[in-house]
Amino acid sequence: MTDVHESRESLWRLIVSPTIWAVHFLLCYITAAIWCAKYASRFGTLGPVRWLIAGYTVAALIGIALNGFGALRRHRFEAKSVPHDEDTPEDRFRFLGFATVLLAGLSAIAVIFAAVVVVFFRDCR
């Protein structure tokens, strides 16, 4: 049985996926920046950076998927559909679930966009 009481709710859950995107993005950027500034020459190879970014990406996508699928269940709570605009804790519960799903989707796209760069770059040029 699902508890929709306010005390079990948290707005932080809404931003889990975008936060994962942010962490993923910063990790990719910092890893590449440090590698190219400290360890590789001007046109040196990216070496392990590409594998690290691939690893970050898999981890991030798993995290986003967990957050997203959990939220999807909330969105579909008792098989009601949008617009989730009733003055009930259940509709608030569904609404936050749905918004979380959407943010998870956007975050996943943004993570994939970021990950695509390793396909094109093999060195620090």
Angle between helices 16-34 and 48-75 (to 10 degrees): 180
Q: How far is the CB of 62 from another protein (least distance, A)?
A: 19
In angstroms, give the least distance from the CB of 61 to another protein.
Answer: 15
- Helices (H) then strands (E): counts for the chain: 4, 0
Compute the distance between CA of residue 35 and CA of residue 83 in angstroms, rounded to an integer: 48
The one among 13, 19, 59, 70 contacting another protein by CB under 8 A: 19
Give yes or no for a contact between 101 and 29, defined as CB atoms under 8 angstroms apart: no
- Contact region with another protein (CB under 8 A), list: 38-46, 54-62, 66-74: 38-46
**Minimum Å distance from CB 8 to another protein?**
10
Q: How far apart are CA 63 and CA 16, in angstroms?
A: 9
Q: Which residue has the tokens 């749905």?
A: 98
Provide the 3-class DSSP secondary structure of residue 121.
coil
- Site map (CB under 8 A) of another protein, residues 68-107, x = contact: ----------x---xxxx-xxxxxx-xxx-xx--xx-xxx
Query: Residues in the site for another protein, rule: CB under 8 A?
Result: 4-6, 9, 11, 14-15, 18-19, 21-22, 25, 28-29, 32-34, 36-38, 42-43, 46, 49, 78, 82-85, 87-92, 94-96, 98-99, 102-103, 105-107, 109-110, 113-114, 116-121, 124-125
